[in-house]
Structure formats: C-alpha cells, structure tokens
A and B are shown apart, each in its own frame.
Chain A
C-alpha cells in the first residue's frame, strides 16, 4: 500500500479506537497501513497485547452474567416503588409482622399480644428510613453527641414532650453516640444512635402517637436493615440495625427492659 498524500498523525486515541473497532473505515485503513511499517513493529505488538488482554478480561468477567441474581437485588425492584417521591415505602406484610410479633411478644405482661395497628407499622417505616439515612453518616451521625448527654436528654424530652432516657446498651457492646430530631409526619421524633465495636450502627427511634395503645414487639425488614417496633401508651419505639435478626431482636429486648 502506498501512502496517498499526508496522513494525519496517528496517536494513542486512534490506536484505542482501532482496537475497539470504532474508527471510520478510511482512518482504520490508515492505522493499519501505519502499523504495517517495519519501524512500527513495536506498536503492532502492543496492539496484539491489547487485544489478547481484552479477550482475557471478557473471559474473566462474563461468567458473572450467568450467576443467579441475589434475591435482595430483585427485591429492590419490587419493594421500593416511590410514594409521591418523598419517602420509600417499606413492604412489611402485616401477617408476618403479626406472627413474629406474637412469637417475640415477651415482656412481663406489659405487652399485649395484639396484631400491630397500621400506625405502628408506619412508625417502623419512619424508624427504618431514618436509620437508613443517618446510620451511614460517619461524621454527622448525630446532632448532639453523648459528650453533652444532659443537654441531649433535656432537648429531646422537651421536643417530644415526654421524658427520654437513652437506654444504656454498653453491657451488649453498644456505645451511645448521641441523638437527633427526625421528622415523623410533620412532628418531631427522636433518634438515638449507637455503635458497636465493629462500627456497626444501631438506632432507636422514639415517637409520639396520637392514641394510646400497647402492642407486641414486631419485626420489620427492608434490604440491609431490620427492626423491631412496639408501642407503649402514647410512645412508639423502633429499634433498627443491620440485617441480623436474632441480634437486633436481642438488643430490642434489652431496650424494652430498660424502658420499663
């Protein structure tokens, strides 16, 4: 092949596009002719290596396509339909929640074995949403840190108009980080954030309810987060943590005992 007129200089961008088959035909021909020149043997070897490793990459990663998709990924598509763009709707089948509520409904007679009212389930949504948002904040997990616990307690108690005493979970390896206010359908609710030795976060949401009720502890779950929730009188509680049901249940009971 003879060079017909000046060919624009060939650079790495051309070679990349040549390897990927993304050049226009006449430019590809020019690159080919250029690579065929004896002085460009090094470049030719380089292109061959690129091609070899490209196919090795595809061979290494393509088998992932035929792996079964983890159910939790498919679950996202089914359970997080947006509700008016504001809050995620968490799917908590009432029957399962009620059944587990009965199963875990211990607590020395203070807890009635009742199915969860819709209100308590909404509370679980608020608690898990707040947990999803704030447990990921490394530096801003709380508004008021535990180093100012007296202020934390009086502030949250005043805003919720009920005495709030942060449960001490240190015997279970959890350190209180502090707390913050979170919105609950336009009203303030309190979130207390705890952390274990591995940096896993747990949170307790405390919210006021309109009508007094007493419910069993019930289980709620969304991808990556699980929670137990219950209502006592006009105060509802949601204890949320990572997806380890038996551990979160054990901690929730410890919270319940202390609140008594």
Chain B
C-alpha cells in the first residue's frame, strides 16, 4: 500500500480549480449572488457612517444648531438597522451555502464511493477516504461559503472608501493610497507564512496525538520491553517540536498586526499633518477642509487597511485549501474501472435503478476461461487460470496467504475483473450482465464479519429489507443463531453496537450466516475466519456452514478442517496455480502438500480444542 500523504501542498493559486469548485456550487449560485450584493451594500453603509459623523461636526456643531437632528438621528438609526439586517442576512446565506455545499459534496462523494471498485478500496485506507468526505469537505464548504463574504466586503469597502477620499481631497487621498501596494505585498506574504506555520502546528499536533495514542495503547508493551525512558525521550522531542512550531506560528501572528498597523499609521500621520495644515489654511481663508472632513479622513485611513488584510487572508486561505479541493475533485472525478456497458445498463439497469424485470435467472455454473489477473501495482496473481464449477458444487480453496485464493473469489464476485480471459456464469461472460444482477444473487460471508449498527433483526434483514419477521427468525433458526439471540435482553431487537461491537466474534459470524441465508443466493462465497471461538460456537458455525452451502454453488476460502473435508472439491492454490485438486480422500491418499497441510492443521486444531474445552 502506498503511503497516502495527508496534507500535500500546492504552491500556486490555481484559479481554474476554484472555477471548477464554483461550478460544483451551482445549486447555490442564487445564494452567492445575494451574498455578493449584500456585502457590497454593507460596505457602502460602512463607508457612509463616518460621513454622518463628519456631517454632525460640520453642520450641527460648527453651525451651532440642533435643527434637523431628529431627521439625522432617524437616518443614522435607520442605517444601523439596515446594516444589522444585512449582517443577519449574509450570515444566514453563507451558513446555508456552507452547510449545503458540504452536504452536496458528501452526497456526490458517497455515491461515487458506492460505485468505485474494490481495487480502489484496496489502495485507499478507510481513514483517508473518511477525511475526504469529512474534514476536506468541511474546509471547502467553509471556503466557498465565507470567502466571498470577506472578499466582496473588502473589495467594496476599498473601492468606495477610495472614491470617497478622492472626492473629499484627492491630493491627500492619493498619498494615502501609496501605502496600499507595500501593504498588500506584506500582508500576502505574512498570511501565507502564518497559514503555513499553522499547518506545521497541525502536523506536529497529529504527531503528538499519535505519540499519546501509542504511549497509552502500548503501555503494557512498554513495560515488558522496559522502554519507558526511550519513550519519554522520544516524546520530549515531539513535545518540544510542537512547542517550537506553536511559538513560531504565534510569533508570526504577533508580528504581523503591529507591522500592518504601523504602516497604516504612516498614512494616518500624513493625513493628520496635511489635513491640519489645510484646516488651518481654510480657517484663514474661510473655505476649504473642515474639522469634520479631517476627522472622517482619519477615520477612513484607520479602517482603510483592514480590507487589504482580509483579502490577503482569503487568497492565502484559498491557496491552502486548494489541496483539499484537489483531493475532493480527484475523488469525484475517479472513474470506476469496473463499469457496465451502456447497453447492459440500458437492459438491466444500474445499482440505483435496477430493471429487475429483465434479469435472467441464475443457476450458478461458473467457468474461468484462461483468466489472468494483475493488480494495479503490476503484481501478477493469476495467469491463464482455468476452472469449471458446476451449479451447486462446493469448492474449498486452501493454501498460504497470498497464493491467490482471495483473488479467485473476488473475480467470481466481479469485485475484480480479469485482466485477460473471461469468467462465464451460466455460459455467458458476466460482463454482458449487470454487476448488480450478479451481486444481488450472491451470498457473502466474510472472514471478519462486518455488522452495521442497528438491531440483530436489522442486520439479518440487511440484504432484503422487506423480509417479514418470521423469515428473519427462520433464517436465524436455520443457522442455529436463534438460541443465543433469544437469550439476549431484547432478543431480535438487541442493538449490536457500532460494527457489532456488543457481540462476540462467534455471534457476529452466526448472524452474518443468517443474513446470507435470508437472501437465498445462487452463489455463495465464504471467507472463513481463523479466529478462535469456543468449541460450542465452533460447532454451531460448522452446522451453519453446512446448512448455508446446501444446494448452492459455493466458494470457500477454508481454514477449518471440517469445512475443507466436506467440500465437493478441494483446490490447493500455490502461486496462483492449482497445485492439487480433488476430494479430501483423494488428496490425502496422494500424501502431497495437502496431506502435510492437513496433518499439521489437524494437530493444532485438536490441541486447541482440548485446551479450550477443559
């Protein structure tokens, strides 16, 4: 398995990618427009309010009158109310876009994951896929929902404020604007640096968490290995790394604001100097800049640089969430390599819209014709493999881990497709039928049984949600699971916990047999567990296997001798080839590899049984 990088990082801002993202946000375009308009209007109000202050000084105070103050107050408070309305509106709209986008991406991603073949899941650890649909998606939703808010407000404020300043006094205004370019450059670099430094902190933090994880879960191992001191030393390094990264990030942030403010103060200082001069000159001349205008000018210069910082931050954030966007888009764009042809879908439907009325019945005659299979990474598992299994036959596959047993079974299920050759079911290449047709006729019991949270009945019913209670009970009875189910507090309505965690392995296995029984499949696949269960459960499981296999074409990756012995045919697989083939008695008589395997296994199993039983 390839190591999957969590936070790979792209250096350049890729607008094409964000355009794609915006296209993905199509259902929310109306909301995004509302946000744009709201933010521009809101920026307008933020520019207007200081003007009211200036008017108050120049009109009422300088004029020595309170006439019109009522109207003035009404206007002021009216603007405040409108602004509050805008604030509530944009938060709601952005929240709607954020949560909606997340939901939308999760929906698309989830559906994609239901279509991707198993070879994809072999390469991608569950944790990695999880974070695509959780943290990455969240990050994108955030970015798309909120960056437009700050961007539009920032741009709006910058433009309107500049315009207003130019109108008030273009000479002073131009000098103020001189500060913009250096400020933009500095902000951009700082914001990028700050984001990068926090990325480092997160990286260190996950190291720290896994160190604690290992320190706690491995505490017993640590004791027996006397590794306390070495562990503590290693931990100290990690803890120090975390501290240094955090201090660096905090220092950078602590440095950024003062630099920006100081730069801004140059502009303010210029306005104060030149403005005061103009006011004094105006007082002498009787015309020119008033105290109110000076005040509003100063007010603007103080606020003027805030949007620059914001815009720089947004771009830096866009850049850093680009990696998340790329990963999500890659997932959404992944093409499944096992797909039904359009003709097949036309005829039989897909897994979301099956056309069951056209489905041919399945008997379960399976033939591998000159099948070769190679994994994506190039490892050749099978070459020119031939096998014919008659309907109703039970075939046990034995052999070492990695010999190719699972591959054969996965090919039968069409979880993989042959790289060369073909697999025929009832004489027809299975690629001429839909995947869903085959998989709906498949019973599958896994080595480590996977249950879903819900009740026992829910789990048995998993493959046929419409099954009646009586059918559920019947299936449980057939595999011998009913006695233990009835002993539980809520019987069939007992919650099994997440992944079936409240049941023992043996119980989970029995339920997974009942689940397979209920769908009454034509083809049955069993990947037998090696995990040890107590003797009584072991016997129950044996019976369950016999009942389930009866009359079906079955493939078993077998570990238990009793299962192997009762198979119609045993295939000993070595290096992707059938090394020995025959019934149990035939193979024993041969005294070859199977005989050796059997002898060893027999002793081991019996030993376990005696130890476990007494």
Tell me, yes or no, whether A binds B. no
Instruction: List the interface of chain A (C-beta within 8 A of B).
Output: none
Interface residues of chain B, those whose CB is within 8 Å of chain A, are none
